[in-house]
Amino acid sequence: MRLKVSCEDRLGMTRELLDILTRRSIDLRGIEIDQIGIIYLNCPEIEFDEFRQLMSEIRLIKGVTDVRKIQFLPAEREHRELRALLETLSDPVFSLNLNGTIDMANMAASRLLGSDEKDLIGESASLVFPDFSFNQWLEKDNAEKICTQIVMSGLDFLMEVTPVYVSEGKDEPVLVSVVVQLKQVSMNHLPTTLYRTPSEHGFDHLVGQSTRFRNLINQAKKFAQLDAPLLIQGETGTGKEMLARACHQRSHRSSDAFMLVNCVSMPDDAAETELFGCAPVINGEGKKGIFELAAGGTVFLYEVGEMSPHLQVKLLRFMQDGKFRRVGEEEEISVDVRVICSTQKNMSELVASGKFREDLYYRLNVLSLTVPPLRERPSDIIPLADLFLNQFAAELGEEKPVLSDQVADYLSQYAWPGNIRQLRNVLFRAMTQNEGSLLREEDIQLPTVENSNFVTEETLDGSLDEIMKRYESGILSNLYRSYPSTRKLAKRLNVSHTAVANKLREYGIGKK
């Protein structure tokens, strides 16, 4: 119970109140004294008869004009009002003590980190914000408010770090705590001074929790430190370019250029000039090619499997010794660049069919990464969906909609032939058409012909053998869309061609 005692401002008043509580064996949990003659007491609840006697005894104290029960002490009310205000903010807010640990986090902060506030309390700021050194900032004299860019859970934020100073009378203000506020921004709305170019997107922007994804990222981080050529393989829409940019950003070449070459759209007659440059014309200047412009940095060959035979010869020579000639020049130029390639095609099959030079393939395939399709890492679908909805909310200036349980199940069980790109496009369309705070299944527009047949509650009827057959049939049915021949499917599943053919025949998959 909380009591408000109105009284005269005289010496010994507080002492007499405490004596009454002591005689009645009532524990005092807190006390506040107002300068205008009000004393607030915080005590445990007591029986009604004892409470009535206590109130009467307090009123008999000389100078007491009134005593009544209240809901909160002033400090408690102020704390609750402040807390309620913080919870209404859509931006994550943290309060840190001078030891660099979290004292408070609002609901938006808890949602961002996927943890309850009680789990965040006492957590070191260096673990939550690894890219910012609070200890180093606190050690400066007269720490001032700063604003910097960070990436958390794959999202870009402007982090405002505000020192909290308290002054008493004429004394110098003393630093007592730090408030951190994160303001989510889209890439299109970053301040010019903090603008992050696409090539600066690092591994922090790659989101996923599946074992396959984590293994891929761990391997990519190791390869990023090396200078050897890197071949990134994977289906369309799996994020090969973003992975290549992350590797560049983590390498010692990150301060130099990242140049992208689209081998699909580059016409053969102009491609050599674009890649290697050309000699000066009369009374003119020569033109630097992409390899020369990227000196010291990285050249990313997008869909290298589409490169023409003529360019393959030119590229092979460059890969052998790092030298090339501009078109129309005899003098050789030597540049130091790292080559990263991507392809959605089976390079071994292209080599076997004579469409890609074998010697060039082995020059490019020194290091190799394979990005798994989204259907093979379903546990990453919802984290990615959450990331995209957060990004769209920032870009559109709208409240982020909540995924219903039905939508989450629907997204997780879909085959996603277009992978991450398709997921992003589907959610963007759904969000622009949705008018409520809840994203429902009817808001998601997906081709039903591609819908997967993974196990649901409806398919769990029957014996274990019947359930397993339905599950196996669903997997084969989904994979057959991407590997529409028994030989390709057998290679994908690492089983014999005969075994796959028998299974497809048993479940009637692939028949007209």
Reported as a single tens digit per residue, the pLDDT across 384-404 is: 998 888 888 877 777 888 888
- Give the architecture (CATH level 2) of 457-507: Orthogonal Bundle (1.10)
Is the pLDDT confidence value at 108 over 90? Answer: no
pLDDT tier at 133, thresholds 50, 70, 90: confident
Least confident of 24-38, 77-91, 94-108, 445-459: 445-459
pLDDT digits (tens, 9 = 90+) for 201-224: 688 888 888 888 989 999 999 999
Is the pLDDT confidence value at 510 over 70? Answer: no
H helical segments located in 24-161: 48-59, 74-88, 107-113, 117-120, 125-128, 134-138
Contacts with 184 (C-beta within 8 Å, 6 or more apart), sequence order: 91, 155, 156, 157, 390, 393, 394
Rounded to 5 degrees, φ, ψ at 166 are -125, 130
What is 89-196's CATH number?
Answer: 3.30.450.20
For the chain, domain boundaries: 2-76, 89-196, 200-370, 374-450, 457-507
pLDDT tier at 470, thresholds 50, 70, 90: low
Predicted local distance difference test score (pLDDT) of residue 204? 82
CB atoms within 10 A of CB 425: 13
What is the Cα–Cα distance from 318 to 316, expressed in whole angstroms?
5
Beta carbons of 45 and 104 less than 8 angstroms apart: no
SS3 label, residue 233:
strand
Class of domain 2-76: alpha beta
Predicted local distance difference test score (pLDDT) of residue 232? 96
What is 374-450's CATH number?
Answer: 1.10.8.60
Predicted model pTM: 0.63
Q: What is the DSSP string of 379-424?
A: GGHHHHHHHHHHHHHHHHT-PPPEEPHHHHHHHHTS--TTHHHHHH
Of 429, 415, 428, residue with least CA distance to 381? 415
pLDDT digits (tens, 9 = 90+) for 31-85: 888 777 889 899 999 898 899 999 999 998 988 889 999 888 888 888 888 878 8
The residue length of the chain stands at 512
Of 314, 246, 305, residue with least CA distance to 276? 314
CATH fold, domain 200-370, is Rossmann fold (3.40.50)
Is the pLDDT confidence value at 492 over 50? Answer: yes
pLDDT digits (tens, 9 = 90+) for 307-364: 888 889 989 999 998 888 888 888 888 999 999 999 999 999 999 999 999 999 999 9
How large is the average pLDDT for residues 370-383?
89
Task: Indicate the helix (H) or strand (E) that contains 468.
Answer: helix 464-482
Contacts with 500 (C-beta within 8 Å, 6 or more apart), sequence order: 476, 486, 489, 490, 493
pLDDT digits (tens, 9 = 90+) for 230-282: 999 999 899 999 999 999 999 999 899 999 998 887 777 678 888 888 887 76
Most confident by average pLDDT, 11-20, 386-395, 499-508: 11-20
pLDDT digits (tens, 9 = 90+) for 412-432: 888 888 899 999 999 998 888
Beta carbons of 383 and 420 less than 8 angstroms apart: no
Least confident of 88-97, 138-147, 239-248, 473-482: 473-482
pLDDT digits (tens, 9 = 90+) for 146-205: 888 888 777 778 888 888 888 766 677 888 888 999 887 754 444 433 334 444 568 888
SS3 label, residue 289:
coil
pLDDT tier at 283, thresholds 50, 70, 90: low
Predicted local distance difference test score (pLDDT) of residue 141? 67
